[in-house]
Chain A
Amino acid sequence: MRRAEALGTGALVLALGFCGTGAWTYAQARGDEELAFSRERDTALAEGRSRLTVLNTLDASTRERAEAGIRAWRDASTGPLRTELGRTRPTVGASARATVTEAALTALDARAGTAKLIATVRVDVTPRGAAAATTDRKRLEAVLTRTGENTWRVAALSAVPVAAAEKGGKTEKGEEGGDE
């Protein structure tokens, strides 16, 4: 009886220890800054990709759709870009559909909630009434700002210009967010 009791107590202590180390390990992993930073990076990248897709896409086949598209732009943006897009008037014209082909973060400040992202985007532009689309490739740089838990929005967006000045003007046009 004594033996069994001692054995039982020993088993309990062991189980308690196991549970304790488990909790401690979990707490460590949970509070690990590097892991938190990794999660933040992946969230920012994924959010940035989807925001850029929205910002380079516009269905302008009708006025209502163009309006909805611009509302989506405003929802995907924040700060100066949002203000800038707010001035855009919906018009019927060429439509664009964007696909982010590759994206990477070049900087991330998890504490401040800011990130820089570069991305290559393929944009299929369909002129009004036309069936065939022309494909355009862009390289963009965006500044992301965290606006809430796991929510990042685009605060600034620009095309990365080629060094030579004569081509700069053309790529600069893509800055507006693919409404061309």
Chain B
Amino acid sequence: MTRLPRTARREDTGADEAPEAGAGAATEPSEGPAKAGTDGGAAAATDQDTTRASGTDEHGTADEDGATDEDGTTDEDGTTDEDEAMDEDGTADESRRRRPAGAWRKAAPVAAATVLLLGGAGFHHAAHQLRSAPSARNHALTDTGATTRVSGDVAEGLARVFSYTPADTDAAERSSRTVLAGRAARQYGDLLAQVRTNLVEQRITLSTQAVRTGVIELDGDSARLLVFLDQTSRRDRAAATTAAAQLTVTAEYRGDRWLIVDIKAR
């Protein structure tokens, strides 16, 4: 690390000195290894030239060996090298000592910003989780107005379509159009077609009343309810009998009221 700039520097100076040194030493070998022995060799050679002019001749002849010579010179160089290296180390140490402080000064805000960003993201995420949880989307009982509205509409609708007199089954069918939709409407149509003749022949009167209504789920325009019904039927002049019915009703808000779209017996 410390060597590289140094050899580069030396090379520069060596290149500058080359004509002089070349003239002083006047040796072809200095040219030889300098080219053959790479840049390091050149640097070493020029180094030698400048530091010990007297020994150059000897070395010059031994230069043919190349490798050993270079080793020797670098060893000798080593002492001066170390001194310089020490100097450089000294400055490097300072800068290293300074660098951690500088690094800290740079890293601390980055770390703080990262922690803050992560924390913020965590908070936002947790808040979103809370707000979008299934329990939060279900407005049954939390939105009292809508809960009462859907309960009332469904209870009243069921009472209307499941109450009829033999004289007026058409009325029930008519009201079913304003109360039922979708699958529930089809189911109801099939049911009424089946029982209509019986109703008229046996003079059956049915009246239905919702006794309990509970909203299970209420999410925007759709709702699911549990409804307990009491159905009193009277056959002509016989005594009335009352039966219990439990339904799970799916309702949808269309236009200005809740329509029953599906009915399941429980």
Please give the residue numbers on chain A whose beta carbons come within 8 Å of chain B beta carbons, in ascending order. Answer: 8-9, 11-12, 15-16, 18-23, 25-26, 28-30, 32, 34-35, 37-39, 41-42, 101-108, 117-120, 137, 139, 141, 160, 162-164, 167, 171
A30-B130, A35-B131, A118-B212 known; A25 vs B123 contact (CB < 8 Å): yes
Chain A residue at minimal CB-CB distance from B209: A163
Within the complex, the shortest CB–CB distance from B229 to chain A, in Å, comes to 9
CA distance A160 to B210 in the complex (A): 12
Asked whether B62 is an interface residue with its Cβ less than 8 Å from the other chain, the reply is: no
Q: Is there an interface contact between B214 and A106, defined as CB atoms closer than 8 Å?
A: yes
Q: Is there an interface contact between A26 and B242, defined as CB atoms closer than 8 Å?
A: no
A105-B141, A160-B212, A163-B211 known; A15 vs B117 contact (CB < 8 Å): yes
- Chain B residues with CB below 8 A from A22, complex form: 119-124, 127
Q: Is there an interface contact between A15 and B232, defined as CB atoms closer than 8 Å?
A: no
Q: Is there an interface contact between B130 and A29, defined as CB atoms closer than 8 Å?
A: yes
The binding surface of chain B is classed by DSSP as mixed
Q: Is there an interface contact between A139 and B135, defined as CB atoms closer than 8 Å?
A: no
Q: Is there an interface contact between A38 and B124, defined as CB atoms closer than 8 Å?
A: no
Chain B residue at minimal CB-CB distance from A25: B127
Q: Is there an interface contact between A120 and B246, defined as CB atoms closer than 8 Å?
A: yes
Q: Is there an interface contact between B216 and A102, defined as CB atoms closer than 8 Å?
A: yes
Asked whether B136 is an interface residue with its Cβ less than 8 Å from the other chain, the reply is: yes
- Chain B residues with CB below 8 A from A167, complex form: 242, 244
Please tell me which one of the listed residues B121, B138, B226 contacts residue A42 in the complex, with CB atoms under 8 A apart: B138
Q: Is there an interface contact between A29 and B112, defined as CB atoms closer than 8 Å?
A: no
- Chain A residues with CB below 8 A from B266, complex form: 101-102, 120, 137
CA distance A167 to B214 in the complex (A): 23
Please give the residue numbers on chain B whose beta carbons come within 8 Å of chain A beta carbons, in ascending order. Answer: 109-110, 112-114, 116-117, 119-124, 126-127, 130-131, 133-136, 138, 140-142, 209, 211-216, 225-226, 228, 230, 232, 240-244, 246, 248, 266
- Chain A residues with CB below 8 A from B214, complex form: 103-106, 117-118
Q: Is there an interface contact between A164 and B242, defined as CB atoms closer than 8 Å?
A: yes
Chain B residue at minimal CB-CB distance from A117: B214
Chain B residue at minimal CB-CB distance from A30: B130
Please tell me which one of the listed residues A25, A32, A39, A160 contacts residue B124 in the complex, with CB atoms under 8 A apart: A25
Question: 16 new A-B pairs (CB below 8 Å) besides A41-B140, A101-B266?
Answer: A11-B113, A15-B116, A22-B123, A28-B127, A38-B138, A38-B142, A41-B142, A42-B135, A104-B216, A105-B214, A107-B141, A118-B226, A118-B228, A163-B209, A163-B242, A164-B230
Q: Is there an interface contact between B112 and A12, defined as CB atoms closer than 8 Å?
A: yes
